[in-house]
Structure 1
C-alpha cells in the first residue's frame, strides 16, 4: 500500500519539474492533469482483475501480480522520452493500485483477529503516508528520474516481502486445504483463537460439500444456467447489496476529503493559500510528517474508539477545515482579512488541520470498514465493485481539481468538496453498523438479519430446481462461522 503514496506523491514533484523551461518533456496544464488523474481511470482495470485472481488463485498470488505493473511503470518513467510513455507508465501503476486497493483490506481482514483488525487496517493509511513523505522528500532535492529509480528499488523490496508472506487462511480453507489453513492461522495469530479457526473450517466444509454436490454431472448449459441463477440471486441479497452501498459512499467520501489533492497538488494548494513567498517544499515535507504522526496516533485510537464515532468526529473536522480554508482564501483574495488573521501561519494551520482529519479518519477508516463489511462468499466481487467507485472518484477529483481551482477558486472548489462529504456522511450515518471487535460472520449476519442456515448455504450453491438430490439434503440447523 505504500505504492499508493509513492505513486500519488510522485505527481507533486514530477509536474513542477516538467513545467520548467529546461524540461526534457515540456507539458501544459491539460497534460499535467492527465498525468495526475489517469491513475483513477487505470484503477478500474485493476479492480476487475483482482477479484478473479483472488478467488481462483489466492490472495498472495494476486498480491504478487499487483506488484509487477508497478515495477514496470517505474522503469518506464525512468526511461520516458515523451509524455506518451509517461502516461503508459502511470496507467500501469494505476492498475497496480486498483488491484492492491481491492486486495489489501480483504487480506488484512482475513489475516488478523477482531481485536487487532482495526489497528492493522489503519497501518494501510500509515503506509500510504510514509510513501508520500518519502517521494516528496526525495523529489525536493533529486530529479524526477533519480526519484523514480529509488522508487523502483522500493517496489522490488515490496516484491521480496510478498514472496515470503503466507496465503490467507480463509482462502486456504475455502480450497479444502485445512492443514495449511490451520498452520497459517496459528502462525499469524498464535494458539489463542482455536474456536474461530474451528468455526471457520466447519462453515467452509458445508459450503464445499454443497458446491461439489452441484458440480457433479452438470452439463455446460446447466453450469451456465446455475451461474446466471446464482448471480441473479446474489443481486437480491441484503448481505451483498448493503455493504456495497455503504462502501460506495465511504469510498466517495474518502476521495473527496482531499487526501489525493494534498498528495498530488500540495505545492499548488500551499501557493494558493499562503502565497509563493514561503518555503513551499519545506511546508510540504512538514505536512507529510504531520500525516505520519497523525496516522500513527490513529492506530492506537482506533483500538479504543468505535468506528462510527471516529468517522463522525474526523469527517466533521474535515468539513470544518474545508469551509475554513474556503472562507480564509476568499477573504484573502478580496482583501477582506482582518490584520490579526493576515498571516501565513493561519493558512498553514488550516492546511494542517485538514491533513489531521484526513490522516486520522478519512484515509484509514474506509480501508478498515472495507476489511470488515463484506461477506466471505462475495468478498472478492463486492470489494471489486465498491473499489470501482473509489477509482472513479479518484479520477474525477484529481482531473477536475486544476479546472475547479482556475474557475471557482480554491474557496469555491473546497465548498463543493464539503457538500459532497456532508452527503456521504449522512448516508453512512444512516446505513453503517458498528463493526468494532465483531467477527466478520457476526457482521454478515446483521446485514442478513439472522444467521445463515446450512440448507440456505446449499441452495445458494445450487439454485437449480432440476436437481432432485438437492431437496434430499435439506437441513434447518443454523450455524455461525
Structure 2
C-alpha cells in the first residue's frame, strides 16, 4: 500500500479534481456549439421539428438569458453550500437537460432544455475557474486552467463532428455520457480549502489543503488561515446590503470585476458567436456556397483544438499580459482584414479571388481567438477575486458574459443582413480593441503568484515576506462575511 501511495502525488490528486471540473466546464462548449448542428438539422426537409428564423435565433440565444439567472444564483450556491455542492448541482442539471433534449418533440421542449442548460452555464462560468484557482498550486494553476479551457474547445469539436454526421439526438446522448462521468468524479472530490477556511472550519481546511497540495506549500496555507483569523477577530456579521456596499467600496473587489467584465466582453466580441454558433452562415458569407461546410467546420474545430493546446503551452511559459497582447492583437488585425476583404469583394472587383483566401482568414481568426480571447478569461477569473467577496465578484462579472452572449448570438444574422459581413467584422474589431486597452491598463501580472499575493496587490497592501507580516498587513477594521449573498 505504501508503495502505491508514492505514486499518488499531490499533482495527481489535483489532476483528478481538475478532471471533474473540466468535464463539467466542457458542457459550455457543447451548449454554445450545439445550435451550429441543431439548427441546420431542424431546417432540413423532413425534420419532425421545424424552426423559422425567429425560433432558431431564440434556440441559439436563450442560453444567454438563463445564464444571467445562473449568475445570480451562484453566489448563494457556492458561498453558502460550498464549491463542491454547487458544482454537483450544476452538473446534474446539465445531465438532465441533455436527456430532455433527446426526448424533445417540439420547439418548446428544446427551448426549455436550453434555458435550464443556461442556468448551469451561468453557475460554471464563475464557479469552475474559482475552483481550479483554489484547488491547485500556483505553479500548476495556469496549466490546469488551460486544460479546463481546452475541454470547452474539445467538446465543441466533438459536438460539431457528431452533429455533422449523426442525428442531433445522438449528439445529445454523447454529451449526457460526458456529464455523467463528470458527476462521478466530482462526487469523490474534496471541498475547497479556501471555502472551509472562510467558514471558520480551519481543521477541515488544513486536511483538504494537505490532501491536495501535500506539505510542501504550508506557508500559503498558514497565510490564508491567519488572514481569515484576523478578519474573524475584528468583525461582525452584516446583512446582505452592508456586505454588497462594503464590497463595492474595496479596490480588491472593484478592479478585478472591471477587468473580468472586459475580459468576458472580449471573449465574445472577438468572434465566438461568428465561428462557434453561426459557423455555417459565416463560412457561406466569407468563403461562398461552393464548399463542403461540414468538412470545413470539422477542420476549423480541429484547428481550434490544436490552437488551444498551443495556447496552453505558451500560457504556461509566458506572462498573461504578453499572451493577451499578442493573441488579441492578432485577433484584432484579422477582424479588420476580414472586414476589408469582404467589403472589397462585395463592392469592387478583386484582381484575384479564391475560396482559399477566405478559409485562410477564417483559420487565422480561429487560431488567434482560441489561443487568447477564449481561454484567458477562464484562466484569469480563477486568480483575481478576493476570498471574502469571491462568490459575489464572480457572479457580477459573469453577468457581462451573459449579456454579451445574448447580444452577440441574437444579433449575428441581423447584423449580417443590415450592415453586411464587413460591417459586422468591423464592429467586432472596434469592441475588441476597446476591451484590450482597458484590460492592459488595469490587469496586473498574475502568473505563478499566490491568490493571497494577488489580492494584496489589488488592495494596495505592501508586499511582505513573512506569514506573520502578511496577516498583520490586513486592515484590522476589515469586516468579514460568510461568502454568501
TM-score normalized by structure 2?
0.89
CA deviation map 1:70-113 (0-9, x unaligned): 12221221121211111111101111111000101111011112
Query: Is residue 2:463 matched to residue 1:445?
Result: no
Residue in 1 aligned with 2:478?
A: 460
Residue in 1 aligned with 2:12?
A: none
Shift of 1:462: 7.2
Distance 1:246 1:462 in 2: 24
State which drifts further: 201-210 or 10-19: 201-210
Distance 1:111 1:453 in 2: 21
Shift of 1:239: 1.2
Shift of 1:237: 1.4
Residue in 2 aligned with 1:243?
A: 256
CA deviation map 1:294-329 (0-9, x unaligned): 111111211221111111111111111111111222
* Counterparts of residues 1-16 of structure 1 (less than 5 Å): 1-16=25-40
- Cα 1:304–1:455 change in 2 (3 A) is closer
* Counterparts of residues 1-400 of structure 1 (less than 5 Å): 1-211=25-235, 214=236, 224=239, 227-339=240-352, 342-400=353-411
3-state secondary structure, aligned to 2:479? helix
Distance 1:109 1:102 in 2: 11
- Cα 1:186–1:336 change in 2 (3 A) is farther
Structure index of larger Rg:
1
Shift of 1:206: 2.6
Q: Is the 8 A contact 1:174 1:208 kept in 2?
A: no
CA deviation map 1:91-143 (0-9, x unaligned): 01111111000101111011112222111111222011111010011111111
State which drifts further: 289-298 or 330-339: 330-339
Q: Is the 8 A contact 1:37 1:395 kept in 2?
A: yes
Shift of 1:390: 0.8
Shift of 1:353: 0.5
CA deviation map 1:131-181 (0-9, x unaligned): 101001111111111211222222111211211222111112222333332
3-state secondary structure, aligned to 1:406? helix
Shift of 1:285: 0.6
Instruction: Count residues with an aligned counterpart.
Output: 450
State which drifts further: 364-373 or 375-384: 364-373
CA deviation map 1:3-51 (0-9, x unaligned): 0111111110000011112111111111111100111111001111111
Residue in 2 aligned with 1:423?
A: 434
Q: Is the 8 A contact 2:227 2:471 kept in 1?
A: no
Shift of 1:331: 2.3
CA deviation map 1:405-427 (0-9, x unaligned): 11111111010000011111111
Distance 1:453 1:200 in 2: 8
Q: Is the 8 A contact 2:197 2:205 kept in 1?
A: yes
CA deviation map 1:228-248 (0-9, x unaligned): 334323221111111111111
Shift of 1:432: 1.2
Distance 2:480 2:36 in 1: 52
Shift of 1:455: 9.2
Shift of 1:287: 0.8
Q: Is the 8 A contact 1:12 1:265 kept in 2?
A: yes
Distance 2:254 2:143 in 1: 26
TM-score normalized by structure 1?
0.90
Residue in 2 aligned with 1:406?
A: 417
Q: Is the 8 A contact 1:125 1:359 kept in 2?
A: no
Q: Is the 8 A contact 2:273 2:412 kept in 1?
A: no
Q: Is the 8 A contact 1:317 1:357 kept in 2?
A: yes
- Cα 1:455–1:116 change in 2 (3 A) is closer
Unaligned regions of 5+ residues in structure 1, if any?
216-222, 464-481
State which drifts further: 173-182 or 149-158: 173-182
Distance 1:157 1:371 in 2: 23
